[in-house]
Amino acid sequence: MPKTSHIYDHKVKFCIAGTIFYKIFTAKRSKQTSLTISSYELKEEPIFAPVQLPDLIGELSDLEELKIIGVNLTSLPTSIGKLTKLKTLHLHKNLLSDLPPSFGKLSNLEELDIKNNLFTNLPDPICKLPQLKRLNLSSNPLTGLPDNITKLQHLEELGLSMNVFQGNPPCGKKMPALEWIQLQDNKISSLKRLKNLCLEGHSISV
C-alpha cells in the first residue's frame, strides 16, 4: 500500500474514532435514550479501516435504542453489558464476528439486528437474552444454529436470508412464539409449518 494511502487511512480512522467518542460523550451528558452512529451520519470519506467502540458506551445507562451502522466495527467492549435498559440494538453492515460474554446481560433487549457482518456461528450470549423477540442474522456466513437457540422462548421473528444455512430452522414446540422466518438464498431442504415463511431462492419439494 502506498505510504500516502496509509497515512490517509490513519487520519480517517482517527477522525471517525473521535467523532464516535464525541457522540457517545454528548449522549451521556444529555442522558439520551436513543443514539445512532452511522457512516452516513459521520459524513466522512468511505470507511475502510476497522473501528472499535470505546468503553464509554457502557456509561449510557438510560439508553433504550442504539444503532451503529456501517462503520466497520470489529468488536464490542465488555461494558456493553451495562446497557440493561436497552430494548433495540442495530449493528448491521459492520465487521463483527463475535460478541463479548457480557452481551448476555442485556436482559431487556427485544430487537437485535446484526445482518451484514462476519458471524460464522451464533454467539452464545445471544441465546441468553430472555426478552428477545426479533433477531436478524441475514447476510452472514452462517451454516447453522446451535441447539440452545431454543432458549429464546419469546422470539417471534428470525431473519436468516443470504447465509449458507443448511440445517432445519428452529420451530415447533421448542420455540412456541416463533411465527416468522426469512430464509431466502440458503440451502434449506426441509421445513416445518410456520405462519409466515419467505423462501425465495430455494428448490424445495413438498
Round the CA-based radius of gyration of the chain to a whole number and report it: 18
* Backbone dihedral angles phi then psi of residue 92, each to the nearest 5 degrees: -75, 160
66 and 88 Cβ atoms separated by less than 8 Å: yes
pLDDT given at position 123: 96
pLDDT by 10s per residue, the chain, length 206 = 455 444 444 444 556 677 888 899 999 999 999 999 988 766 554 555 788 899 999 999 999 999 999 988 999 999 999 999 999 999 999 999 999 999 999 999 999 999 999 999 999 999 999 999 999 999 999 888 888 999 999 999 999 888 877 766 666 668 889 988 887 776 655 555 445 554 444 444 44
Q: Which residues pair with 159 in a beta bridge?
A: 136, 182
Per this entry, what is the length of the chain? 206
pLDDT given at position 8: 40
In this prediction the pTM is 0.83
| Helix ranges restricted to H, 30-135 | 39-42
The helix or strand, by DSSP H or E, that contains position 4, with its residue range, turns out to be: helix 3-29
Provide the strand spans (E) within the chain: 34-38, 51-52, 65-69, 73-75, 88-90, 111-113, 134-136, 157-159, 180-182, 196-198
Q: Which residues pair with 105 in a beta bridge?
A: none
Domain ranges of the chain: 3-198
Measuring CA to CA, which residue among 69, 104, 117, 109 is closest to residue 88?
A: 109
pLDDT given at position 163: 84
The CATH number of the domain covering residues in 3-198: 3.80.10.10
